[in-house]
C-alpha cells in the first residue's frame, strides 16, 4: 500500500526559521521531503563546502546558503531548485559529476547501495585533501551494514559512528591513502553473450532482471526510433537493436551512473545503429518524436513505494510518441499501471500471462 502523507511540510529549524519543503518540486508524490538524517547533518555543518546526495534539497535549505551540490540524479536538480526558490534562497550550483576540489568539509547523505557508497567515497578521496572532514548520515534502516568500514577503508579514520534517533552519523577525517576507482560490474546477457556493464548501484547489477526478460519475451518486431526510458544498464535498448536492423536507439535515465552503464554496455556490443544518450529527469527537454518506448519503471524511491515516477514516465511517453507509436511497459501486477496508462492512452492491452508481472502495450497517445 502506498504511504499517504501530506506532500508539503513545514520543517522548523533551531534558529527560528520554518522551511517549506515539497518532495517533488514539479509533482505531488505524497512523500515527505526531509528526514532525521538531514537534521543531523545540518547540526554538524562546519562551513561545509560540498553537499553530496541531497536528494530533495532539504539539507541545502537547512544550511540556508548556496553550498555546491553533487547529485548524480537529474530529478533532484528540480527538487533542490524548487525548494530553494520556495524558501527564497539563492540557488546552489548543482553538478552530475563531482566538482573539482579541493573540498575541505563535506556533508553526505549515505546511499543505500554499498557499491554506490564506495564509488562516492573513492571520488571524494581524490578531491578532499588530507585533514579534510566528512560528515555522512542516513536513516539507520537504510545505511549499509559496512558503512563505517567502507568510510574507513576508502576515505580515512572514523572518529564517530553511532545512531542519532532514527538516523546514523559517521564522522571521518581524510588521510593520505588513494583508493582505486570502483570498476564497472560485468555480466553476460544470455540472448547474445554480450557483456552488460553496471556502474555501482545501478539496477540489475549482476544478472538479468526477470521483469526485463518478461518484457523482451513479448516484444514485437520494431522499426523507427526506440526510446529506452529509465534505461539503467541499457539492456532493453540493446536487445531492441540486436533484434531489429531498422531502428535507432535513444537511452534516457535520471541517474548519471545509469547513463555511464548504458553507454559502456552499448560500446561493448559492437552495434552500429544510430544511438543517443541523455541524462534527464524523465524526458525533460526532449521533444523529438519516437516510434516505440520501452519502460520498466521503478516503484520505489528513497525506501518508499510510490507510483509517481511511473505516472510521470507514462505522461512523458505519450507526449513524444507518434500517433501510431507504442509504449511497452512491464510491471508487477499489483501496481495497477493499466489504470495510470489509461489516463494518457486510448488503447491499453495486457499481452502477458506471467504470474508475477504484466506486460502492457499502450497505443493512441493523448497529448496535453
User: CA angle, 127 as apex, 121 and 128 as ends, to 5°?
Assistant: 80
Task: Delineate the domains of the chain, giving CATH numbers in brackets.
Answer: 8-173 (3.40.50.150), 185-365 (3.40.50.150)
As a whole number, the mean pLDDT across the chain is: 90
pLDDT at residue 28 tops 60: no
Q: Whole-angstrom Cα distance, residue 271 to residue 17?
A: 55
User: CA angle, 109 as apex, 133 and 5 as ends, to 5°?
Assistant: 150
Mean pLDDT on 196-215:
86
Count the neighbouring beta carbons within 10 Å of the beta carbon of residue 286.
16
Say which residues have a Cβ less than 8 Å from residue 191's Cβ, sequence separation at least 6. 216, 239, 242
Mean pLDDT on 352-367:
88
Do residues 23 and 304 make contact, with C-beta atoms less than 8 angstroms apart?
no
Say which residues have a Cβ less than 8 Å from residue 71's Cβ, sequence separation at least 6. 52, 53, 54, 55, 77, 80, 94, 95, 96
pLDDT at residue 27 tops 60: no
Q: Whole-angstrom Cα distance, residue 116 to residue 101?
A: 20
Count the neighbouring beta carbons within 10 Å of the beta carbon of residue 292.
24
Say which residues have a Cβ less than 8 Å from residue 304's Cβ, sequence separation at least 6. 3, 31
Phi, psi at residue 60, to the nearest 5°?
Answer: -65, -35
pLDDT for the residue numbered 2: 31
Convert the pLDDT of each residue in 253-270 to its tens digit.
999 999 999 999 999 999
Do residues 158 and 148 make contact, with C-beta atoms less than 8 angstroms apart?
yes
pLDDT at residue 25 tops 60: no
Q: Whole-angstrom Cα distance, residue 65 to residue 346?
A: 47
pLDDT at residue 102 tops 70: yes
pLDDT at residue 117 tops 90: yes
Do residues 358 and 350 make contact, with C-beta atoms less than 8 angstroms apart?
yes
pLDDT for the residue numbered 307: 64
Phi, psi at residue 221, to the nearest 5°?
Answer: -60, 145
pLDDT for the residue numbered 303: 56
Mean pLDDT on 207-231:
92
Say which residues have a Cβ less than 8 Å from residue 296's Cβ, sequence separation at least 6. 209, 211, 212, 215, 230, 232, 236, 329, 330, 331
Q: How confident is the model at residue 38 (pLDDT cuts 50, 70, 90)?
A: very high
pLDDT for the residue numbered 282: 87
Q: Is the peptide bond before 102 cis (omega within 30 degrees of 0)?
A: yes
Q: How confident is the model at residue 248 (pLDDT cuts 50, 70, 90)?
A: very high
Mean pLDDT on 106-111:
97
Nearest by Cα to 295 from 306, 279, 311, 280: 311
pTM of the model: 0.88
Q: Whole-angstrom Cα distance, residue 302 to residue 11?
A: 19
Do residues 229 and 313 make contact, with C-beta atoms less than 8 angstroms apart?
yes
Convert the pLDDT of each residue in 289-316 to its tens digit.
999 999 998 765 555 666 678 888 999 9
Q: How far is CA 58 from the centre of its chain?
A: 17
Convert the pLDDT of each residue in 334-354 to its tens digit.
777 888 998 999 999 999 878
Query: What share of the chain in percent tops pLDDT 70?
Result: 93
Amino acid at each position: 500500500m502506498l504511504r499517504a502523507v501530506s506532500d508539503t511540510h513545514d520543517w522548523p529549524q533551531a534558529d527560528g526559521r520554518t522551511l517549506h519543503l515539497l518532495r517533488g518540486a514539479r509533482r505531488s508524490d505524497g512523500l515527505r521531503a526531509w528526514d532525521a538524517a538531514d537534521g543531523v547533518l545540518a547540526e554538524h555543518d562546519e562551513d561545509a563546502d560540498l553537499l553530496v546526495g541531497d536528494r530533495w534539497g532539504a539539507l541545502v535549505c537547512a544550511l540556508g546558503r548556496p553550498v555546491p551540490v553533487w547529485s548524480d540524479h537529474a530529478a533532484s536538480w528540480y527538487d533542490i531548485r524548487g525548494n530553494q526558490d520556495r524558501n527564497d534562497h539563492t540557488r546552489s550550483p548543482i553538478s552530475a559529476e563531482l566538482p573539482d576540489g579541493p573540498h575541505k568539509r563535506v556533508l553526505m547523505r549515505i546511499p543505500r547501495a554499498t557499491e554506490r557508497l564506495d564509488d562516492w567515497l573513492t571520488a571524494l578521496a581524490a578531491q578532499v585533501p588530507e585533514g579534510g572532514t566528512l560528515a555522512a548520515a542516513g536513516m539507520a534502516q537504510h545505511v549499509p551494514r559496512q558503512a563505517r568500514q567502507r568510510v574507513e577503508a576508502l576515505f580515512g579514520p572514523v572518529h564517530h559512528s553511532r545512531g542519532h534517533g532514527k538516523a546514523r552519523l559517521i564522522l571521518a577525517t581524510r588521510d593520505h591513502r588513494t583508493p582505486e576507482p570502483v570498476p564497472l560490474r560485468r555480466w553476460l546477457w544470455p540472448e547474445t553473450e554480450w557483456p552488460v556493464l553496471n556502474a555501482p548501484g545501478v539496477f540489475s547489477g549482476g544478472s538479468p532482471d526477470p521483469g526485463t526478460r518478461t518484457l523482451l519475451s513479448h516484444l514485437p518486431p520494431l522499426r523507427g526510433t526506440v526510446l529506452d526510458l529509465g534505461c539503467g544498464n541499457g539492456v532493453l535498448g540493446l536487445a531492441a537493436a540486436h533484434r531489429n536492423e531498422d531502428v535507432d536507439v535513444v537511452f534516457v535515465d535520471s541517474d548519471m551512473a545509469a547513463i555511464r552503464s548504458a553507454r559502456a554496455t552499448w560500446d561493448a556490443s559492437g552495434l552500429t545503429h544510430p544511438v543517443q544518450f541523455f541524462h534527464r529527469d524523465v524526458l525533460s527537454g526532449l521533444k523529438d518524436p519516437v516510434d516505440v518506448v520501452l519502460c520498466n519503471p521503478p516503484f520505489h524511491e528513497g525506501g518508499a513505494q510510490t507510483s509517481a515516477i511511473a505516472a510521470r514516465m507514462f505522461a512523458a511517453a505519450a507526449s513524444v510518441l507518434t500517433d501510431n507509436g507504442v509504449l511497452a511497459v512491464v510491471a508487477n501486477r499489483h501496481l495497477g499501471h493499466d489504470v495510470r496508462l489509461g489516463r494518457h492512452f486510448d488503447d491499453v492491452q495486457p499481452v502477458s500471462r506471467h504470474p508475477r508481472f504484466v506486460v502492457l502495450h499502450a497505443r493512441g497517445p493523448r497529448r496535453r
